[in-house]
């Protein structure tokens, strides 16, 4: 189910790249470019932090959904998708966080 949602969202985001900016919020973000998308990701990340600090779990879930969504827009902007992130998480599964981080430092 989760993968289905992410796949459908990925497909929708790809379709929005071709949509007219006045017909879609996402198309408008793509049209404005990376800086506008990054601004939204930053805003949503801040809202996640504030929701967490407030202790409102419902609001935290809502804001996290917004952050994930805008992060997926950013990934799509770069020709990537949630599957790329899932593949990376699968690669890291079972690895010590310290070991994994050190392996990236050598690249």
Task: Specify the pTM.
Answer: 0.85
Tell me how far apart the alpha carbons of residues 32 and 85 are, in angstroms, rounded to a whole number: 24
- Coarse DSSP helix, strand, coil percentages of the chain, rounded to the nearest 5 percent: 80, 0, 20
100 pLDDT exceeds 70?
A: no
Structure confidence at residue 1 (pLDDT): 63
Query: Which of 25-29, 31-35, 48-52, 88-92 bottoms out in mean pLDDT, i.e. has the lowest?
Result: 88-92
pLDDT digits (tens, 9 = 90+) for 81-91: 999 999 999 98
User: Given pLDDT bands bounded at 50, 70 and 90, which one contains residue 64?
Assistant: very high
User: Which residue's entry shows tokens 């796949």?
Assistant: 7
Q: Read off the pLDDT of residues 47-58 as tens digits, 9 standing for 90 and up.
A: 999 999 999 999
Query: Quick one: tokens of 32?
Result: 């404005």
Question: What DSSP assignment string belongs to 63-87?
Answer: HHHHHHHHHHHHHHHTT--HHHHHH
């Amino acid at each position: 189910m989760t993968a289905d949602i992410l796949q459908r969202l990925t497909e929708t985001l790809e379709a929005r790249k071709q949509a007219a900016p006045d017909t879609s919020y996402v198309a408008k973000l793509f049209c404005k470019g990376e800086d506008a998308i990054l601004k939204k990701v930053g805003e949503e990340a801040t809202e996640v932090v504030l929701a967490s600090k407030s202790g409102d779990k419902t609001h935290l879930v809502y804001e996290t959904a917004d952050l994930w969504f805008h992060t997926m827009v950013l990934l799509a902007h770069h020709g990537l998708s949630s599957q790329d992130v899932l593949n990376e998480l699968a690669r890291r599964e079972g690895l010590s966080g310290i070991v994994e981080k050190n392996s990236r430092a050598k690249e």
